[in-house]
Amino acid sequence: MSDGVLSRVDCHVKVLDETVVERATQAGLDVIVYAPHFRRLPEIQDMATQYTTDDLLVVPGREVFTGPWSNRKHVLAIGLEEPVPDFITLEAAMAELDRQGSTVLAPHPGFLNVSLSPADLCQYRETIDAIEIFNPKHLPLHNRRAQRLANELELPPFTSSYAHLSSSVGVAHTAFETVIESEADLCAALEDDAPHQIVRSNGLDQWQTTAAELLHLGYENTWKKAERLFLSGTEPTHPDHIAYNGRFDDAAVY
């Protein structure tokens, strides 16, 4: 890593507690983006403020769950000013993120059925600010494909731990050659393609993380989410929720 690195950022974590903060600090991270599923923006913002320390900035984010369960596409947004629901069309989500002027990232592109496809990336290239080229859930072929897409579309790359488990925090980060001390600083660095490097663990540590995260993915995408979607009632990020005042009724897929 060059001496010019000033801010080490994990651009996407799903979990946040004292253990996560401790692991992030021990790994030398300066910033993490906390973007859990099915939590409304105000709650995420409150959590980010609660867990920010003198050594670690926690930035609130939303990984918006667009489309129906059978063809869901995740889009990561930072710098939102108003809540955006899940379970709306990709077109409506992108239009709303663009309207708010948020920073839009493409996590895990082309991965299973939870990601923006190459065609989606081409269609929304002017809205997307950066594309993820590595995370521990990816197998090598997924990372190579993501890197190729970033190159072909000339979109800046980023990486993250995509940590659904606290043990994954710190295994990958984006190292910026600029000081990031606020959400606005991070948005500017991503949107302006500030000089940065992709940093990740290799060898046994990476494969242990990959195995653990993929096992968790199987659990999360079967029983856990089925229970949330069909047994627990309306999610707080569902477009029917009172918080959205009916603004997204026409775009809802459920």
What value does the mean pLDDT of the chain take? Answer: 89
pTM of the complete model: 0.89
Question: Residue 125: helix, strand or coil by DSSP?
Answer: coil
**How crowded is the C-beta side of 216, counted as CA atoms within 13 Å?**
17
Residues 6+ apart with CB under 8 A from 109: 115, 116, 117, 118, 121, 131, 132, 145, 146, 149
What is the crossing angle of helices 18-26 and 41-51, to 10°?
Answer: 60
Per-residue pLDDT for the chain (254 aa), expressed as one digit of tens each? 456 889 999 999 999 999 999 999 999 999 999 999 899 999 999 999 999 999 999 999 999 999 998 888 999 999 999 999 999 999 999 999 999 999 999 999 987 778 999 999 999 999 999 999 998 877 888 899 999 999 999 999 999 999 988 888 988 999 999 999 999 999 999 999 999 999 987 655 655 665 555 555 544 655 455 455 544 456 789 999 998 999 999 999 98
**pLDDT of 220:** 60
Strands (E), 193-232: 196-200
35: nearest Cα among 16, 7, 50, 56: 16
How is residue 130 written in tokens? 């950066």
Complete domains list, the chain, with CATH: 7-251 (3.20.20.140)
- Residue 218: exposure state from Cβ atoms within 10 A (0-12, 13-18, ≥19): exposed
State how far the Cα of 31 lies from the Cα of 9, in Å rounded to an integer: 5
